[in-house]
Amino acid sequence: MYTRISKLVLVLAFALYASLVAFNNLTDYNSNFTLVTHVLMMDTTFPGNQGLWRAIHSPVMHHTVYSLIIGTEIAIAALCWLGGLRLYRSIQTPIAFNQAKGLAILGLTLGFLLWFTGFMTIGGEWFLMWQSETANGQQAAFRLAMIIAAILIYLGQADEEQQI
C-alpha cells in the first residue's frame, strides 16, 4: 500500500508542478515568451554559425510555438491530475491500481516529449540553444526529463500485495 501511495503522490506532485508552470506562463506571458523568441530567432547563438538559416523571425510563429508549449503544459497537468484521481480511487487493490495508471502515464509521457523532444532536441539541437548563454533552457529541461523518466519507471512497475 505504501508503494501505491508513493506513486500517487509523485504523480500529483508532477501535476502540481505542470499546473504552476502553465499558470506562470499564462500570467507572466512575456518572461518565457522572450526565451522562446530568442531560441527561434537564434539571435543569441554563436555569430555567423552555419545553422542560422533555420531561424524563424515571424512573431506569429513565435506566439504559435509558445501557445503550443503552454497548451501542452496544460494537457500534461490535466492528464496527471486526472490520472492521480484514477489512481486514488483504485488505491485499495493492486490490480485496479495497475489498470488505473493509463492517464498518469500519458501525462508523464507528454511531459517527457515536451521537455526532452521539444526543448532539448528541437530547441537545443535544431535551434542550437546550447550555443546561447542567455536563452538556454537545456539544463532545466534535462532535470525535468530525468524526473519524469524516474517517475515513469517507478509508476510503470507492477503493483502487487506484499506478503509479510
Residue where the block lists cell 516529449 = 113
Query: Quick count: other Cβ atoms within 10 Å of Cβ 16?
Result: 14
Distances (CA, A) of 70 to 23, 27, 33, 75, 124: 9, 11, 10, 9, 18
d(CA 62, CA 135): 14
pLDDT reported for residue 160? 84
pLDDT reported for residue 164? 47
Q: Write the DSSP symbol of residue 28.
A: T
Q: What is the pLDDT along the chain (164 residues), one digit of tens a residue?
A: 899 999 999 999 999 999 999 999 999 999 999 999 999 999 999 998 999 999 999 999 999 999 999 999 999 999 999 999 999 999 999 999 999 999 999 999 999 999 999 999 999 999 999 999 998 999 999 999 999 999 999 999 998 876 44
**pTM of this prediction?**
0.91
Mind spelling out the 3-state secondary structure of 75-141? HHHHHHHHHHHHHHHCCCCHHHHHHCCHHHHHHHHHHHHHHHHHHHHHHHHHCCHHHCCCCCCHHHH
Contacts of 76 (CB under 8 A, 6+ apart): 18, 22, 107, 108, 110, 111, 114
